[in-house]
Structure 1
Amino acid sequence: MALLAEVYSHLRIFVSYGPGLAFLLFLHEAIRVRRPDIVDINNRVRNVDTSELLESYDFVVIGGGSAGAVIASRLSEIESWTVLLIEAGPDESLLSEVPLLYPTLQHSHLDWEFETVQSDRYCLAMDGICNWPRGKVLGGSSVLNAMMYVRGNRNDYDRWASLGNPGWDYETMLYYFKKSEDMRDPVLSKSPYHGTNGYLTVEPFHAITPIGDISIAAFEELGLVNEDNDVNGKTQTGITQTQGTIRNGLRCSTNKAFLRPARNRPNLHISLNSFVQKILIDPITRSAYGVQFQRENQLFEVHSTRETILSAGAIQSPQLLMLSGVGPAPHLYDLGIDVIKDSPGVGENLQDHVAMGGVFYLIQNPFSDEQLSLSVAKFANPETIRNFVFNSEGPLYAMGSAETMAYISSKYQDPSVDWPDLQIFFASYSDVADGGLFSRRGAGVTYEYYSQVYEHAIYRDSFAIIPLLLRPESRGKILLKSADPMEYPIIHANYFDDPKDIDVLIEGSKFGYEVTKTSIFRALNATLNPGVIPNCSGLEFLSDDFWRCQARHYSQTIYHPSGTCKMGPSNDPLAVVDPRLRVHGINNLRVIDTSIMPYIVSGNTNAPTIAIAEKGADMIKEDHLYYGGTDY
């Protein structure tokens, strides 16, 4: 029954294809029987029994995701400190480790399945509601994501420091990126920009399609190749092969990287399927002293003698602060929540990387019958399972969403500064519409749009070019729906509130189209999908208004919500935490996750979140005067 439940949860995405059920069932069973490296039974973490929970721990960490797993691992290195890590979800599933299957994790039991408030400005093909997947699993969104290892731009961190946040400049952060990293690319491992002694394994993806090489050749023609083939190196501009948080070809989540090596530490307890309802804060002293959480239909209260660390992510960290009495006073009063600290910045400053989905190109290869891109119809078969299970090879090791990625500057960005404002993904499949490879309708795309736009792509050799806005000017917010912790918060994505954002995205789509006019793509007869969104059909094809309409209909999160517990000095009215990530006005409470970013980084957010956690763990050790093995 457990097998069927796990597979069925993945099928909510995969089932739109006929072979989905049998394929996933056979693959899951084959992995269970024939891939002990994935089952990894001897290294999986142990879910502490409720009878073993202590009344108090030195540190209680809320959220076992990209940041929380790092924090718990690093703090438990100190043998005299006791640490409790509380995670709302279960351990990782077997299928979650298979790179190509990552889109099937959305809308599964490992996903919180958040949705944004309906808008008439974006996500129009999804009835104005955007899906925002977030990991509800040990390892958090590092289990659900596309495994891209991207740090952002050095200017991002120097800007953080310039805002009054000493110690957050690029050179300091580079130390923490290298500290966490286990780079296994034989060339990049020798680079001064990479580390080899960390927990987080980084490799090239083990399976690629010709689209990756073709895209690099096209950029060579345009003179936009990154000379080091390293988006995390000396320069960011240009096209590179994608680096992945993978180990031996399989996903390397923060659970696998940081928690499994710490599994036998007696001072680390991990409580799974445990839903935190409230941070306990003394209203007189304004000191956090523990948490209240629900597990197995029981309510538990556990105290923290040193600190409580909130690492629940950009949606739930502000939610929990507000539920606990820390947030905008008028909003909390309206919901009947006692205000302990009026903190108007909690939930504000929400940023995300929005992309334009649904832009794909058909290929007619005149040279051979070679398959140039991925197709579900071609790989969902027994041969693929045999190759994966017995030979450790084949398309299941691919990451089709971005075999290569490019960074470019639009006309709105000074090209003399290496700080691109656009990221371009080259996807070796065409079924991209916020739900990913396995579902054109899984994102909530209405049948009208699904049938008219995607009918041309089914089973064809095709690829997608996905432009992504790196530094949005628009800001959204997180609000509580009620004082009930079980109710999901209100998410105002607020995409395109600043008109410049959509203007930059339009430039990205126009650039992507021009890439297909290079000689190598012309030789393949690359043609923009002729299916046009119904509401855009009256606009001049390829005009700015056409692309603007496309962006508003197929607005696609790249799953990077950030900034809702902004880091800043005490004179910043919207700052929630100080430069040491301590909550302003509350003792013994820190927020350590992607929510502390004053500005979202110019790239994927998983690697930066891990680096933030590495730095946060060191600051905790410093603040509690731990030096050289002696706890003063």
Structure 2
Amino acid sequence: MKLNFLILSLIFGVKCSNDDNTVDDDVWSSTGTKKGKLFWPYHESVIDAIYNTAKHGPKKNIGNYFDFLRDPYGLPPGLSSPLPEYDFIIVGAGSAGSVLASRLSEDRNTTVLLLEAGKPEMLLTDIPAMAPYFQATDYTWQYYMEPQPGVCLGMENQRCFWPRGKAVGGTSVINYMIYTRGRPQEWDRIAADGNYGWSYNDVLEYYKKSEKAKLDGYENSPTRNKDGKMPVEFVQRRTKLIKAFLEAGKLLGHPTIDYNSPDELGFGHVQVTIENGHRQSAAKVFLHKHKNRRNLHILPESTVARVLIDAQTKTATGVEFIRKGKTHVIKARKEVIVSSGPIASPQLLMLSGIGPKDHLISKGIHVIQDLPVGQTLYDHICFPGAIFELNTTGVTLSENRALDLSSIFSWLRDGDSDLASPGAVEGIGYIKTPVSSDPEPIPDIELISIGGSILADGGPGGSKAVRKGMRIREEVFNEAFGPIDNKDAWSAFPMLLHPKSVGRLELKDRNPFSHPRMYGNYLSDPSDVATFVAAIRHIQALVATEPFQKFGARVYPANYPACRSTVFDSDEYWECAIRTLTATLHHQIATCRMGPVGDPLAVVDPELRVHGISSLRVVDSSVIPRTISAHTNAPAIMIGEKAADMIKDSWSANKKVYRYNNK
């Protein structure tokens, strides 16, 4: 019990005593209240350090408060430093890298080194409701898109924030845990481009391999699996608003279904990688139980500076990395596998001499292979500002109601409280708007139904974690939503699934600790704007139905400073609003694009081998060549599963060590 109270003290700011070990009776009562209110003083807790970094950047020592709660990783007993050589070196312990390391090390005769720049996860990251809080910590790469006129107008410095996970487990440690796979036609198109082995039926087997579904009967479908490793469940804590969303969907022709089914489009309860109310990251599922394998060495807080490549033979031979101020050079007997994600993977390739020739030369980098690394970038963006007031109170998820002592203890005891909600996401709906020109049944918008809105993050006296996590400027938020801040409201975020606008990524310089320059090129194609506006009209049609009108739902006329010259609810108003609150869903892809030999945009082949370089692969979501109707965590896990089998097949013939040649 003392340990639990200590944990609560550190996490939630409970003040047990002052410096002389006596209770401060003037401030704190024995019932855990302050000034007559149930205790939850973010502004006086360690959590405050998380919020305060939003404007000033992450502080190196934030996580040190919680080191004793972290899942420890390291070298086996008796080893003070890594081995000089491994069969496989994997760079990045994200969703794909964690799977890959686990699967390759199943063979006890195969040695695997897994390098990760971030730290291990800990108790706080287990709490689904804490997802937005970690956007401003050192569990996150604090990436910002380069300034682009006409987007992110309401964000700090008018720049779009692109947080990525920096942890053992990668972005699966900080994301909203949503499990989606993409439509069959999308994967079949990827295969038809010459990417053999990537049709829907091909990838389905690997989605199933990972999955341990518990979905009220959906798990019995032939496209699902209940015997894998990664838990996939429904969120158990629900508001009445999800029922309204599903019923309104039915009235507009959207059946309530397993939205991951290949058979039809529809709406459904959100499926998440949560078990018993606790986040299930890729590290927890695929690494935690196996971290004591003597052939699997996991080194957190290790930054890889470059892949070592023999310029004459064009063969990857190892890596150079920095850990605790010391530089290490480790050799790979078989392969180096880059699994650092859609931003860090292309950055590492370019630092290693693989990328656009002219760009590398301009940065003083010796060119080993001229490839279009980083020249294609797609992202899913959303609009969180379509908010509908309700005349009914107490029906939404709210920080002020959820984060009290009873909820905390309930979650600690059995995972059963509002803390188990993944950022209040309750439902997913796929729609095809009237402006879509796709001849196949592929949606162009995903609707993310929230059991509340971005107003529910505590209001003026609360944490404001969601709005801070998105980097919305306080003055913009207050002018737009101040009169209804922290009041009951509903929203659905429309997510643009197939943007026509294409971005790119390039190096800032040759320093491995510098962030690359990222150009999202958001909304540069007019059809993307038209699709967003059509999605908002569809949300309004949902709200106009009887299930939502039971709550008196009506659109709130947000007063955006940049949009005052437009007429509220006109198409021009909504375009301006979208350009004000332009938010990423963290689904960047295609920066190390997959394609066959001869594809001028391809970086890796269908077996994820880097074109022209032997013994080097990229295994993460950066290889996905086309936009898909999916949040990218599940696809990244699938890619890790599929890559593990491809790599094993490459080296299985008589267990003969050889180097393939992909020139």
TM-score by length of 1: 0.91
Cα gap change, 1:151/1:100 in structure 2, threshold over 3 Å: closer, same or farther? same
Select 1:107's aligned residue among 133, 136, 142: 136
- Quote how far apart the aligned CAs of 1:391 are: 4.8
d(CA) in 2 for partners of 1:167, 1:24:
49
Larger mean Cα displacement after TM superposition, 374-383 or 580-589: 374-383
Listed as ranges, the matches of 1:448-459 within 5 Å are: 448-459=475-486
* Partner-residue secondary structure (3-state), 2:425: coil
Q: Which amino acid is 1:185 matched to?
A: L
Q: Does 1:70 align with 2:93?
A: no
* Whole-Å separation in 2 of the counterparts to 1:504 and 1:432: 25
2:397–2:451 CA contact under 8 A, matched in 1: yes
Please give the alpha-carbon distance, in whole angstroms, between the structure 2 residues aligned to 1:313 and 1:590.
13
Question: Once the 2 structures are TM-superposed, how far is the Cα of residue 95 of structure 1 from its aligned partner?
Answer: 0.8
Could you say what secondary structure the match of 2:610 adopts? coil
1:250-271, Cα deviation, whole Å (9 max, x unpaired):
1111001111122221110000
- Segments of structure 1 that go 5 or more residues without pairing to the other structure are 10-16, 29-38
Q: How many Å separate the matches in 2 of 1:514 and 1:594?
A: 35
Task: Choose from 332, 342, 351 the match for 1:323.
Answer: 351
- 1:424 and 2:452 matched: no
Q: In the alignment, what sits opposite 1:588?
A: 615
- Deviation of 1:356 after TM superposition, in Å, equals 1.2
Q: Please give the alpha-carbon distance, in whole angstroms, between the structure 1 residues aligned to 2:366 and 2:504.
A: 21
8 Å Cα contact 2:86-2:112 kept in structure 1: yes
1:402 to 1:392, Cα distance in 2 relative to 1, 3 A: closer
- Structure 1 counterpart of 2:41: 19
Give the C-alpha shift of residue 508 in structure 1: 0.7
Instruction: Kindly tell me the number of residue pairs found equivalent between the two proteins.
Output: 605
Matched, 1:123 2:152: yes
* Contact 1:181–1:198, Cα closer than 8 Å, also in 2: yes
Q: Deviations over 1:166-212 (max 9, x none)?
A: 11000011000001111122401211111122211111112111111
The DSSP-based 3-state class of the residue aligned with 1:293 is: strand
For 1:483 and 1:153, the matched residues in 2 are separated by 39
- Cα RMSD (Å): 2.7
Does 1:503 pair with 2:530?
yes
* Unmatched runs of 5 consecutive residues or more in structure 2: 1-5, 14-38, 51-65, 659-663
The structural deviation recorded for 1:225 is 1.6
Q: Which moved more, 1:40-49 or 1:442-451?
A: 40-49
1:143 alignment counterpart: 173
Q: Tell whether the 8 Å contact from 1:70 to 1:258 is kept in structure 2 after alignment.
A: yes
Matched AA of 1:557: T
Report how far residue 433 of structure 1 moved: 11
Query: What CA distance in whole angstroms lies between the structure 2 residues aligned with 1:118 and 1:451?
Result: 23
Does 2:232 align with 1:211?
Answer: no
Look up the SS of the partner of 1:550 in the other structure. helix
**Counterpart code for 1:408:** I
1:185 to 215, 231, 246: 215
Partner letter of residue 582 of structure 1? R
Q: Structure 1's 583 and 433: CA in aligned 2 closer, same or farther, altered over 3 A? A: farther
The CA deviation at 1:574 is 1.4
Which of these residues, 177, 189, 192, is aligned with residue 159 of structure 1?
189
Q: For the structure 1 residues 449 and 213, does the alpha-carbon distance in structure 2 shift closer, same or farther, using more than 3 Å as the test?
A: same
CA deviations on 1:237-296 (whole Å, 9 max, x unpaired) are: 121101101122211110011111222211100001101111000111110011111101
State the percentage of identical aligned residues: 37
Please tell me the residue identity of whatever aligns with 2:556.
N
Alpha-carbon shift at residue 438 of structure 1 (Å):
2.3
Q: Could you tell me which residue of structure 1 aligns to residue 310 of structure 2?
A: 282
Q: Offset at 1:315? A: 0.4
Q: 1:23 to 1:521 in 2, by over 3 A?
A: farther
| Contact kept in structure 1, 2:12 and 2:45, CA below 8 Å | no
Q: What is the CA distance between 1:441 and its match in structure 2?
A: 3.8
Choose from 362, 375, 383 the match for 2:398: 375
How big is the shift at 1:6? Answer: 8.4
| Aligned residue in 1 for 2:408 | 385
Counterpart Cα distance in 1 of 2:167 and 2:580: 30
Query: Deviation at 1:430?
Result: 1.6
Structure 1 contact 356–466 (Cα < 8 Å) conserved:
yes
The CA distance in 2 between the partners of 1:464 and 1:422, in whole Å, is 15
CA separation of 1:23/1:430 partners in 2, compared to 1, >3 Å: closer, same or farther?
A: farther
Q: Which moved more, 1:165-174 or 1:207-216?
A: 207-216
2:275 aligns to what? 247
Give 1:389-468 correspondences, 5 Å limit: 389-413=412-436, 417-431=440-454, 438-468=465-495
Tell me which residue corresponds to 1:513. 540
The yes-or-no answer on 1:295 pairing with 2:332 is no
Deviation (angstroms), 1:586: 0.5
- Cα distance in structure 2, aligned partners of 1:291 and 1:357: 41
Could you give the per-residue CA deviations for residues 596-622 of structure 1, whole angstroms, max 9, x where no partner exists? 011021121110111111111100001
Distance 2:320 2:91 in 1: 11
Select which of 350, 362, 385 maps to 1:334.
362
Is the CA contact 2:124–2:130 (under 8 Å) kept in the aligned structure 1? yes
> C-alpha separation between the residues in 2 aligned to 1:59 and 1:237?
41
Cα-to-partner distance string for 1:50-70 (whole Å, 9 max, x where unaligned): 724100000000000011001
Counterpart residue type for residue 467 of structure 1: P
| Structure 1 residue 523, shift from structure 2 partner | 2.2
Moved over 3 A (4+): 2-9, 21-26, 39-45, 414-417, 432-437, 629-632
Q: Which residue in 1 is equivalent to 2:595?
A: 568
Would you say the 8 A contact 1:279–1:320 is kept in 2?
A: yes
AA matched with 1:48: L
Structure-2 change in CA distance of 1:543 and 1:508 (3 Å) = same
Contact 1:452 1:533 in 2 (8 A): yes
Specify the SS of the correspondent of 1:124: coil
Mapped to 2, the partners of 1:492 and 1:319 lie a distance apart of 14
Whole-angstrom distance in 1 between the partners of 2:268 and 2:195? 31
How far 1:514 moved relative to its partner?
A: 1.5
Q: What amino acid maps onto 1:374 in structure 2?
A: L
Residue number in structure 2 paired with 1:14 = none
2:288 corresponds to which letter in structure 1? Answer: R
Picking from 494, 499, 504, the partner of 1:477 is 504
Q: Identify the match of residue 56 of structure 1 among 70, 85, 91.
A: 85
Contact 1:422/1:468 (CA < 8 Å) preserved in 2? Answer: yes
Question: Shift of residue 416 of structure 1?
Answer: 7.1
Summarize the Cα distance change of 1:441–1:249 in structure 2 as closer, same or farther, 3 Å threshold. Answer: closer
Deviation of 1:7 (Å):
5.4
Where does residue 19 of structure 2 map in the other structure? none
Task: Tell me the alpha carbon deviations over residues 215-255 of structure 1, each in whole angstroms, 9 at most, x when there is no partner.
Answer: 111112222123xx211113351211011011222111100
SS of residue in 2 equivalent to 1:114: coil
* Aligned 8 A contact 1:153 1:236 in 2: no
Contact 2:435/2:534, CA 8 A, preserved across alignment = no
**Whole-angstrom distance in 2 between the partners of 1:400 and 1:42:** 23
Query: Counterpart of 2:537 in structure 1: which amino acid?
Result: K
In the alignment, the residues of structure 2 paired with residue 391 and residue 291 of structure 1 have an alpha-carbon distance, to the nearest angstrom, of: 43
The residue identity in structure 2 corresponding to 1:518 is T
